[in-house]
Amino acid sequence: MRSLSFDVVVMGAGTAGAAAARCLAQAGRSVALLDARALDGAGARWVNGVPPWMFDAAGVPRPTPPERRGEGAFVMRGAAGRRGLRLDPSPVWPVDMRHLVARLQADARAAGATTIAPARLLELRFDGHRPRALHAAGPDGPLALEADLFVDASGMGGALRRRVPSLARDCPPVPRAHVCSAAQMVCAVADAAGARAWLQAEGLDEGDTLCRAGVAGGYSISNLTLEGDEVEILTGAIADPALPSGPELVERARAHHRWIGARRFGGAGAIPLRRPYDRLTAPGVALLGNAACQVFSAHGSGIGVGLLAARMLADAVTGAADPGAAATLWRYQVAFQRRVGALLAAYDLFRRATQALDGDDVRRLLEAGLLSEPSYRAGLEQRLPVPDARDLLQTLRGALRAPRLAARMAPTFARLGPAVALYRAHPEAPDARALARWSRRVARLFGERPDLAR
Ligand SMILES: Cc1cc2nc3c(=O)[nH]c(=O)nc-3n(C[C@H](O)[C@H](O)[C@H](O)COP(=O)(O)OP(=O)(O)OC[C@H]3O[C@@H](n4cnc5c(N)ncnc54)[C@H](O)[C@@H]3O)c2cc1C
């Protein structure tokens, strides 16, 4: 068995893992970046929407074509009809993840990171409670990789998380009710006249995204974006056997719009929607990206948050003699929960409330104008809204138009501020008991049994 030693081993070379390897290597750490798949098959392989500010905040240059795809407005409507909301330009950029993943991996390599793929994880070797070596079946045979820090960026399954007893205990698998089944497909336009007729019937311009919300329950969408000779289809719904899956919704869209032609590329998968795990680290281990449930759950977006988290992890361990020391990793946990966890938790409360609605409720929510346009824009941009007097007045008018819906949503709106305040008060100093107390308060806010909530 070949033995190699690094400061950091990153498991998973998707956007979050490749971004972490990039930042850590650029900061002078010796890094190994592993993936179970070949590197050109790692991470998301489809088109994702990402707000441009998140690249800036993560220190990743903004994508340019062909990584960045077209531009247009974002038009949101209920499952049927023409009333709704138009945000022009769209606050999110469509980004081809195949290019972004390749760029992050190439940057990591250019900064000195060693990439190893495909590599199958065999076991973790511990010294007491702390992992010290990872054994894997690499492309050229068995490998023993020693490191001070192991980063689990292996996606929702959490390949390392499941093997570290304290994390397996505190970060349980995400229940189906909090998982989104999503699919994204780019297809050729088979009938240009049919496509133009659809644009006209919907009152759209080329490049606009039409988001139909509530097509399969309160938390579901079916989006279409027509650009040149291609159409992007994005779908998602709660992974409930009673509801259609993301791939089924894509096939419905293709069957309904006969002008959509052959598949060019795309993919499907599960997105964890629950708020981030309360605990993101254990001695020698950090969770990152989907493995940490670092997802903006109101629309199941994990790319930008994963990039931010990767930057925060690298910043937290900068200059530390031992990047895997519990006190060092606590800095990552505090920074993330206070700055980003607060946002994710608040929007997760909102996601849970919309999930309980049905398609008609979603249409009413949009048509009554219960939420102002700046609130929708903030939601798509993955920021907290800062409502002014006009927004409040609009919400009030919407509440008068849809009083029962407003009454149902009111308790959730009332918890958003306390959620943000609680996350901003995440314990500053490493203290397991203070974290447990904080976790119990979070669980109460989310109406969960504290022993099941982590
Ligand atoms: C159809 C769809 C549409 C989406 N749309 C959007 C969107 O518009 N905007 C947005 O922001 N987000 C979107 N998301 C979510 C986003 O794609 C994920 O949140 C993001 O890809 C998570 O990145 P990650 O690096 O944490 O994990 P992943 O992308 O899942 O990467 C994990 C990597 O780890 C590897 N791995 C797994 N197990 C092991 C192991 N044992 N050993 C080594 N490697 C392992 C995998 O091969 C993979 O390459 C969408 C998701 C789906 C499925």
- Establish whether residue 13 lines the binding site of ligand 1, counting it when its CB lies within 6 angstroms of any ligand atom: yes
**24 is a domain residue:** yes
Q: Which residue of 154, 220, 311 sits with most ligand 1 atoms within 8 Å of its CB, as the best mutation to test the pocket?
A: 154
**341 is a domain residue:** yes
Q: Residue 16 in contact with residue 307, Cβ under 8 Å? A: yes
Amino acid at residue number 42: A
d(CA 137, CA 120): 5
Q: Where are the alpha helices (DSSP H) in 42-158?
A: 52-58, 97-110
**23 is a domain residue:** yes
Ligand 1 atom with the smallest distance to the CA of 154 is 34
405 pLDDT more than 90? no
Instruction: Give 171's Cβ-side CA count (13 Å radius).
Output: 31
Per-residue model confidence (pLDDT) at position 88: 96
Please tell me whether residues 27 and 121 are part of one structural domain: yes
DSSP 291: G
Which residue's CA is the closest to the ligand 1 atom numbered 21? 44
% helix / strand / coil in the chain, to the nearest 5? 40, 25, 30
355 pLDDT more than 50? yes
Give the bridge partners for 95, in sequence order: 48, 68
- Name the pLDDT band for 400 (thresholds 50, 70, 90): confident
Per-residue model confidence (pLDDT) at position 453: 47
- Establish whether residue 115 lines the binding site of ligand 1, counting it when its CB lies within 6 angstroms of any ligand atom: no
- Per-residue pLDDT reduced to its tens digit, 96-133: 999 999 999 999 999 999 999 999 999 999 999 999 99
Q: Separation of 291 CA from ligand 1 center, angstroms? A: 9
Q: Separation of 270 CA from ligand 1 center, angstroms? A: 9
Per-residue CA distances from 359 to 79, 202, 320, 363, 413 (Å): 7, 19, 51, 6, 20
Rounded percentage of the chain residues whose pLDDT exceeds 90: 86
Q: Separation of 302 CA from ligand 1 center, angstroms? A: 8
235 pLDDT more than 70? yes
Q: Which residue of 9, 15, 135 sits with most ligand 1 atoms within 8 Å of its CB, as the best mutation to test the pocket?
A: 15
Question: Dihedral through CA 377, CA 379, CA 385, CA 390, nearest 10?
Answer: 40
Handedness of CA 342, 268, 360, 89 (dihedral sign): positive
Domain that holds residue 234: 177-272
Q: Separation of 306 CA from ligand 1 center, angstroms? A: 10
DSSP 80: S
Give the bridge partners for 225, in sequence order: 209, 232
> Of 272, 293, 319, which one is at a domain's C-terminal end?
272
3-state secondary structure of 130: strand
Ligand 1 atom with the smallest distance to the CA of 270 is 53
Q: Where are the alpha helices (DSSP H) in 337-372?
A: 342-355, 359-368
Burial (CB count <10 Å: 0-12, 13-18, 19+), residue 221: buried
Please tell me whether residues 111 and 13 are part of one structural domain: yes
3-state secondary structure of 398: helix
Which residue's CA is the closest to the ligand 1 atom numbered 38? 154
Per-residue CA distances from 143 to 34, 58, 203, 330 (Å): 11, 32, 58, 29
Q: Separation of 94 CA from ligand 1 center, angstroms? A: 16
- Name the pLDDT band for 398 (thresholds 50, 70, 90): confident
Give the bridge partners for 237, in sequence order: 181, 220
Please tell me whether residues 329 and 224 are part of one structural domain: no
Q: Separation of 389 CA from ligand 1 center, angstroms? A: 39
Amino acid at residue number 247: P
- Per-residue pLDDT reduced to its tens digit, 184-213: 999 999 999 999 999 999 999 999 999 999
Handedness of CA 379, 354, 444, 414 (dihedral sign): positive
CATH of the domain at 140: 3.50.50.60
Q: Separation of 265 CA from ligand 1 center, angstroms? A: 16
Number of domains comprising the chain: 3
> Of 243, 272, 301, which one is at a domain's C-terminal end?
272
- Establish whether residue 183 lines the binding site of ligand 1, counting it when its CB lies within 6 angstroms of any ligand atom: yes
Please tell me whether residues 31 and 143 are part of one structural domain: yes
- Establish whether residue 289 lines the binding site of ligand 1, counting it when its CB lies within 6 angstroms of any ligand atom: yes
Amino acid at residue number 233: I
d(CA 379, CA 74): 12
Q: Which residue of 9, 11, 35 sits with most ligand 1 atoms within 8 Å of its CB, as the best mutation to test the pocket?
A: 35
Mean pLDDT of the chain: 95
> Of 272, 307, 335, which one is at a domain's C-terminal end?
272
- Establish whether residue 42 lines the binding site of ligand 1, counting it when its CB lies within 6 angstroms of any ligand atom: yes
**280 is a domain residue:** yes
Q: Count of residues for the chain? A: 454
**447 is a domain residue:** no
Give the bridge partners for 231, in sequence order: 187, 226
Ligand 1 atom with the smallest distance to the CA of 160 is 41
Please tell me whether residues 7 and 143 are part of one structural domain: yes
Please tell me whether residues 229 and 319 are part of one structural domain: no
Per-residue model confidence (pLDDT) at position 451: 54
**432 is a domain residue:** no
- Establish whether residue 33 lines the binding site of ligand 1, counting it when its CB lies within 6 angstroms of any ligand atom: no
**444 is a domain residue:** no
Distance between first and last Cα of the chain: 38
Mean predicted confidence (pLDDT) in 54-65: 98
3-state secondary structure of 408: helix
Which residue's CA is the closest to the ligand 1 atom numbered 40? 36
- Name the pLDDT band for 450 (thresholds 50, 70, 90): low
Q: Which residue has the tokens 């093997």?
A: 163
Mean predicted confidence (pLDDT) in 78-86: 92
pTM for this structure? 0.96
Helix H or strand E segment including 211: strand 209-213
Mean predicted confidence (pLDDT) in 214-235: 96
**136 is a domain residue:** yes
Report which of 345, 297, 330, 298 is spatially closest to residue 442, judged by C-alpha positions.
345
Please tell me whether residues 302 and 366 are part of one structural domain: no
CATH of the domain at 224: 3.30.70
Question: Dihedral through CA 398, CA 399, CA 404, CA 405, nearest 10?
Answer: 60
- Per-residue pLDDT reduced to its tens digit, 302-348: 999 999 999 999 999 999 999 999 999 999 999 999 999 999 999 99
Rounded percentage of the chain residues whose pLDDT exceeds 70: 99
Mean predicted confidence (pLDDT) in 408-416: 89
Please tell me whether residues 107 and 18 are part of one structural domain: yes
Please tell me whether residues 324 and 307 are part of one structural domain: yes
Range in 21-35, 217-231, 384-398, 421-435 the model is least confident about:
384-398
More reliable by pLDDT, 364 or 278: 278
- Establish whether residue 225 lines the binding site of ligand 1, counting it when its CB lies within 6 angstroms of any ligand atom: no
Handedness of CA 409, 411, 412, 414 (dihedral sign): positive
Please tell me whether residues 238 and 375 are part of one structural domain: no
- Per-residue pLDDT reduced to its tens digit, 369-397: 888 888 999 999 999 988 788 888 888 88
- Establish whether residue 137 lines the binding site of ligand 1, counting it when its CB lies within 6 angstroms of any ligand atom: no
d(CA 121, CA 142): 10
Please tell me whether residues 366 and 404 are part of one structural domain: yes
Please tell me whether residues 236 and 292 are part of one structural domain: no
Report which of 67, 45, 71 is spatially closest to residue 228, judged by C-alpha positions.
71
More reliable by pLDDT, 362 or 282: 282
